[in-house]
Structure 1
Amino acid sequence: MSAHHADHSKGLLLTAIGGLALTVDIPLIKLANGDVWSILFLRASSTLLAAIVIWLVWRAVARNAPPLVPGRAGLAVAALYSITSVCFMAAVFHTSTANLVFIVAFSTVFATALSWIFLKERPKPPTLAAMAVMIVAIGIIVQDGLSSGGWFGDLLALGAALSIAAAIVISRASGRDMGFTPLVAVVIPLLIGGAVVAQNGLNVEAPFWIVLDGLVIIPVAFFLLATGPKYISGPEVAMFYLLETVLAPIWVWLIFSETPTSQSLLGGLILISALLAHSLWQLHQGRKRRATLALRHAP
């Protein structure tokens, strides 16, 4: 296997594990049962603590720890992940879990469009077709939010999707290791949540769940997902965020009996079908490329 293919496989594995870990984020937020600012403060402070401890141990043991914020690109990525964190957390409390994760899945479209514009990574016709179908699906979901009064939460989810996509594309363009950047980016949400908590007090019934989320789940998920663009393309990384799209509503339905509306499910089904078809097409194309390379290098 060539070095390029080995790196690509490594990137796929890392982002797959990160995406799977991310699927339990929303259930843990809901299990904590608190107000948005208290949970934002606890989650951000736990994540920052975990990031700093891991980074210090890494530096002490291996001496090759990546920088917390690598240069100007790192600052831009940190700012975007801060926006993502605030938008995502607020959206949890203003729209349904299904709407939130379905709309955040739109980050794939944003990442593809931004990669096309800024990195000149022109998408192929099947990708453009999948994007068109996804736009229709998101329109159905957002229309449901407008009719049910959850439009504000849906807009917050769109903001999170756009900021995630921008962070992925900047990471990809820089080629720098951004593994720790989204973790230390929680400083801004921490300060915002802390300011509100200082005035109104901490209101979380089961803080254990949100501390577990911040100390373990978020560091693992975002470190791996932020490392992915070093090895694979932005649209590929964005697709692994879609594991949350499929699994988070299932966990929430099993634990809290939160059932999505029929319109939300219809839009989600269309979106997931488009993404699945596109992923299968990408897999087929990858196999064809590998077969062609093997023939060229055959003795």
Structure 2
Amino acid sequence: QTCAPASLSLPHTGAAMSYLSGAILIILAGVLWSTQGLFIRLIPDTGSWAILFWRSAGMLPVLALWIGLASRGSILSEIRAVGWAGVLGGLGLVMAFSGAIYAFQATSVANAVLLFAASPFFAAILGRVLLGEAVSPLTWFAIILAALGILVMVGGGLAGGALDGNIAALASALGFAVFTVTLRWSKLANMLPAVALGGLFSMIAGAIALAILGKVVLIPLPEIAISALMGAVTLTGGMLLYTLGSKVVPAAQATLLSLVEVLLAPFWVWVLLDETVSRGTLTGGAVLLAAVLLNAYGGRIQRVQRARPLSVSRLHPEDI
């Protein structure tokens, strides 16, 4: 349930990070993200809109602190700088965040996280349609392969009564894709203020939905604590770790390393809550993961090809 950050202004660390350190940070980010489904399973009686509200409330202080450190206190200026692109991206995150929470409640955690992995393919299609970006033949093949895997998984959901959860997971992946393409359209150098807007809009959407449904925002304190912890630590903390690590790890390899989220999320609920994985999820998920790996491999090949005019001795270890 993640949006791999594309670009983010970071506070100056004073020392260069090694490739190994960056890879470890990305893996740790995946570990944090993988606990989202477990935490949501721990509060099964809390509605998705209440979780969205309080998780977003937990996100905002951490994001404000990070933006403040990166901009030396110019938080409002940074938020205004993202303009309408940041607003559109933030609205995309509302769909991503709310869809993910509902998916974790309505379908298996394995189904949800595997379907979230379709986000890069939605982004490739939207980038082609809206921005005219070229899509390589290998990526088109990966998109077709991913679609087959999704059909198998969603078909299993139809048989098992979890179709709405699968659709919500796909809507979440589409929301993250909208966010990604919006950033590319506007060429934003810093995406963190747009994420903050997404958190703010999500709080507003959660409050409005609760009011329409006649439900209260105030839920039991333990459930508020769990929801806010997800926002502050597992979601935002993981995003910051990923972004720090991606400074020294190429995007294609970062994508592969972050797949630890997909592997661990079903593991936590299996070990702690005895939630099993269906055959349809295993089959369709394997096809979808193969498509993700193929797409990441294609990204690495393109990176190496762009660097080919340079001397081989100038390639960095992460390019190989």
Paired with 1:232 and 1:168, the residues of 2 have a C-alpha distance of 19
Provide, for residues 125-151 of structure 1, a one-character-per-residue CA deviation record: whole Å limited to 9, x for no partner: 222111111110000000011111111
Structure 1 residues 153, 226: closer, same or farther in 2, change over 3 A?
A: farther
Aligned position for 1:3: none
Aligned position for 1:278: 295
Aligned position for 2:35: 24
Provide, for residues 202-235 of structure 1, a one-character-per-residue CA deviation record: whole Å limited to 9, x for no partner: 1465543332211222223345668999999999
> Which is worse superposed, 215-224 or 132-141?
215-224
Instruction: Give matches, 1:39-78, under 5 Å.
Output: 39-60=51-72, 67-68=78-79, 70-78=82-90
CA contact (8 A) 1:27 1:251 kept: yes
Aligned position for 2:318: none
Provide, for residues 62-87 of structure 1, a one-character-per-residue CA deviation record: whole Å limited to 9, x for no partner: x5997135111111101111121111
Structure 1 residues 52, 282: closer, same or farther in 2, change over 3 A?
A: closer
Instruction: Give matches, 1:249-288, under 5 Å.
Output: 249-288=266-305
**Match status 1:127 vs 2:139:** yes
CA contact (8 A) 1:168 1:238 kept: no
CA positional deviation for 1:96: 1.0
Provide, for residues 220-271 of structure 1, a one-character-per-residue CA deviation record: whole Å limited to 9, x for no partner: 3345668999999999987776443333122222222211111111100111
Q: Give TM-score scaled by structure 1 length.
A: 0.80
Paired with 1:297 and 1:37, the residues of 2 have a C-alpha distance of 51
Aligned position for 1:115: 127
Aligned position for 2:96: 84
Provide, for residues 94-143 of structure 1, a one-character-per-residue CA deviation record: whole Å limited to 9, x for no partner: 11111111111111211111122233332222221111111100000000
> Which is worse superposed, 239-248 or 108-117?
239-248
Q: Which of residues 210, 215, 220 in structure 2 aligns to 1:199?
A: 215
Structure 1 residues 278, 82: closer, same or farther in 2, change over 3 A?
A: closer
> Which is worse superposed, 114-123 or 286-295?
286-295
CA contact (8 A) 1:21 1:217 kept: yes
Tell me, what secondary structure is at the counterpart of 2:79? coil
Instruction: Give matches, 1:97-112, under 5 Å.
Output: 97-112=109-124
CA contact (8 A) 1:73 1:170 kept: yes
CA contact (8 A) 2:55 2:228 kept: yes
Paired with 2:103 and 2:220, the residues of 1 have a C-alpha distance of 18
**Match status 1:189 vs 2:206:** no
Structure 1 residues 263, 293: closer, same or farther in 2, change over 3 A?
A: same
CA contact (8 A) 1:51 1:184 kept: no
Q: State the identity %.
A: 25
Aligned position for 1:136: 148
CA contact (8 A) 2:63 2:196 kept: yes
> Which is worse superposed, 193-202 or 43-52?
193-202
Unaligned runs of 5+ in 1: 1-5
> Which is worse superposed, 157-166 or 65-74?
65-74
Instruction: Give matches, 1:227-242, under 5 Å.
Output: 242=259
Paired with 2:240 and 2:42, the residues of 1 have a C-alpha distance of 23
Aligned position for 1:179: 192
Paired with 1:242 and 1:204, the residues of 2 have a C-alpha distance of 33
Report the aligned-residue RMSD: 3.6
Aligned position for 2:261: 244
CA contact (8 A) 1:32 1:205 kept: no
Paired with 1:75 and 1:26, the residues of 2 have a C-alpha distance of 27
Structure 1 residues 27, 109: closer, same or farther in 2, change over 3 A?
A: same
CA contact (8 A) 1:23 1:248 kept: yes
Structure 1 residues 292, 234: closer, same or farther in 2, change over 3 A?
A: closer
